[in-house]
Structure 1
Amino acid sequence: MDRRIQKTRHSIMNTFIDLLAEKGFEKITINDIAERANINRGTVYLHYVDKFDLLDKCIETYVELLLHHCANSADTILSVSAFQSVFEYLEKNFTIYKLLLSYEGVGFFRNRLYAIIAQTVTEVVGIKSGNSALSNDVTTHFLTSGFIGVLEWWIHNSMPCSVQEAVEQLLYVLEPYTKHLVSHQS
């Protein structure tokens, strides 16, 4: 992709995020974005259909950044390094993720993150669980909901404990399950 296009999209998205924090989604207009980014209104429409499309692309971008970072620094989804990587990345990028998780109209972000984590957990549970008494669907949604819930709690409460404490507590809660998965690897 042309660097100018990347730079313009980056500018539009950053401007949109700033305005989202200041005004809220409902009050943002394409004119606001164009003026703040110092570009023509038509340029915004060249890259995005409307502000809803921009919101969708913003959500996709930040979910992908989080997942890409975690995929590069963790060996498996149910490992210390995976959990630590997620919390460290969120800590470094606290402001944007708090905005995306807090804003009422951005349930799309949570839903997208949930879907991706659930898909990954489903793959791990399906491969590693040898216990037919466990329902893969129930297990997947239990683990995904719990993990997302802890992330939301941690972000909404402005990181009330350290990354290390959050990871240790999460692993302690998941220990019986992770031991079960490890014992069925072969």
Structure 2
Amino acid sequence: MAGIKGNRRVLYTKKTIRDSLIKLLETKEIHQITVTDICKNADINRGTFYAHYKDAFDLLQSMEDELFNKILDYIDETPVEEYSDSLLLKVIELISENKDLCKVLLCNQRDNKILDRLIYVASKTDIEQIYSNSNEFTKAHLNYYIRYVVGGCISIIQAWLENDLPESPSELVKIINTVNKLNIEYYK
């Protein structure tokens, strides 16, 4: 018999709770959502909710952490030279697979710290190696550059999510890389 973590009923319940929160976040900010709202929407009792999460913030944080842990795994397994193609594609495919959650996190929530987390993740990568051959790129500019690139990518991804993913993940990677190349060429 599978343990509690692998129990299909538990997995289904957690998915139902998560789906309920995502649906509520489409029209409300996280601080406006109560456990009762989540439970009513998921058609579960509060005890079931509290068996898995402390509150709505804990639930949202666990969902966000799960996404970021996958991104960190992708970073660890991807060579630096493949960040702009392979890594970016993996991340955009992850966003596509989790479209509703990502739309809520990136487009609807004003109070979240997702951009800060993405900038932190980007700063922990070896992105510096990619641009070390540029004469005008110095270590002092790295923080600004990371913020600029991540902010630009997030803006493109937000527009993609808001338009219901009209391009495939690989097409979006080409768009982002084209914009980044135009930017790099401009500053050479």
**TM value normalised by structure 2:** 0.69
Structure 2 unaligned blocks of 5 or more: none
Find 2:60's aligned residue among 55, 58, 63. 55
1:82-121 superposed matches below 5 A: 82-105=87-110, 107-120=112-125
Go from structure 1 to structure 2 and tell me whether the alpha carbon gap of 1:104 and 1:124 turns closer, same or farther (over 3 Å shift).
Answer: closer
Q: In 2, are the aligned partners of 1:15 and 1:36 still within 8 Å (CA)?
A: yes
Structure 1 unaligned blocks of 5 or more: 180-186
Q: What is residue 157 of structure 1 aligned with on the other side?
A: 163
Matched, 1:14 2:16: no
Look up the equivalent residue of 1:150 and give its one-letter code.
I
How many residue pairs get aligned? The number is 176
Go from structure 1 to structure 2 and tell me whether the alpha carbon gap of 1:160 and 1:40 turns closer, same or farther (over 3 Å shift).
Answer: closer
SS in 2 for 1:107: coil
CA RMSD of aligned residues (A): 3.5
Q: In 2, are the aligned partners of 1:74 and 1:85 still within 8 Å (CA)?
A: no
1:1-186 superposed matches below 5 A: 2-3=4-5, 4=7, 7=11, 8-21=13-26, 25-65=30-70, 67=71, 70-71=74-75, 74-76=78-80, 78-105=83-110, 107-120=112-125, 123-125=126-128, 129-130=132-133, 133-134=136-137, 135-175=141-181
Q: In 2, are the aligned partners of 1:154 and 1:160 still within 8 Å (CA)?
A: yes
Go from structure 1 to structure 2 and tell me whether the alpha carbon gap of 1:143 and 1:40 turns closer, same or farther (over 3 Å shift).
Answer: same
Offset, 1:90: 2.5
Go from structure 1 to structure 2 and tell me whether the alpha carbon gap of 1:61 and 1:174 turns closer, same or farther (over 3 Å shift).
Answer: same
Look up the equivalent residue of 1:119 and give its one-letter code.
K
Offset, 1:125: 0.5
**TM value normalised by structure 1:** 0.70
- In 2, the alpha carbon distance for the partners of 1:10 and 1:92 equals 14
Higher helix proportion: 1
Offset, 1:48: 2.5
Q: Per chain length, whose mean CA-contact separation is higher, i.e. which structure has more relative contact order (CA < 8 Å, sep 6+)?
A: 2
Q: In 2, are the aligned partners of 1:30 and 1:50 still within 8 Å (CA)?
A: yes
CA deviations on 1:32-59 (whole Å, 9 max, x unpaired) are 3234444431332343332222222222
Offset, 1:68: 5.6
